[in-house]
Chain A
Amino acid sequence: AQKVTQAQTEISVVEKEDVTLDCVYETRDTTYYLFWYKQPPSGELVFLIRRNSFDEQNEISGRYSWNFQKSTSSFNFTITASQVVDSAVYFCALSRDNYGQNFVFGPGTRLSVLP
């Protein structure tokens, strides 16, 4: 069965610090996708990134970067120079089946960026 672990329940940093959110997953599928979503206080989840199991290249988008390592089953998310607007709950998710139409979510990490 698929499982996603986000061991960090809550993290607090001061603005401009870098922060890494950990995600460890379990799956027996050879083809799968991993996702990161952000949930701001307004409630809706906002899609950040999708990565397939065959693409281990790191991804950078502005202040955000992702490190995917199949050897350790991890898909970590780093925010560089954090800002107060980054305060949110962040979820890592794994595609549930080969059709990939629904997902297993981790428990989430609540990030607080203090001014």
Chain B
Amino acid sequence: DGGITQSPKYLFRKEGQNVTLSCEQNLNHDAMYWYRQDPGQGLRLIYYSQIVNDFQKGDIAEGYSVSREKKESFPLTVTSAQKNPTAFYLCASSITRAWTEAFFGQGTRLTVV
């Protein structure tokens, strides 16, 4: 089945550690996105990529980094510089035709302990 796979579903991290969230898609989509979801705040864009080896900062990129070495993969690293990393992280993808809907993964819930 085509879709977006995020792993792990739950992740615990100690303060001061970097952690990488995985996102893989087999939809052959060129565009991929990372969103952060906090209670009552909706989704906020962290980074997005419209093509391999290229990505752009979103609204809240500070403390995060990404790479896009393969079309299928868009991993997100939450660095120790991120002040409040505990959140629900959603990865999405879409074709690059304007105004098409995005397809989402099931998310990773990151908790800093």
Contact = CB atoms under 8 A, between A and B. Distances in A.
Nearest to B108: A43
Contacts of A52: 99
A44 B58 contact: no
A101 B98 contact: yes
Contacts of A46: 104
A47 B102 contact: yes
Interface stretch (B19-27, B67-75, B88-96): B88-96
B42 A107 contact: yes
Between A52, A98, A99, the greatest number of chain B beta carbons within 10 A of the residue's beta carbon is seen for A99
Interface in A34-61: 35, 37, 42-47, 50, 52
A54 B15 CA distance: 49
Contacts of B96: 101
A105 B42 CA distance: 6
Interface string A69-113: 000000000000000000000010001001111110111100000
Interface residues of A, number: 26
B98 A44 contact: no
A63 B4 CA distance: 28
Contacts of B102: 45, 47, 103
A42 B88 CA distance: 12
Nearest to B38: A107
Interface string B74-106: 000000000000001010101010111111111
Contact of A101 (B4, B31, B41, B104): B31
A103 to B, nearest CB: 7
Interface of B: 4, 31, 33, 35, 40-45, 48, 50, 58, 88, 90, 92, 94, 96, 98-107
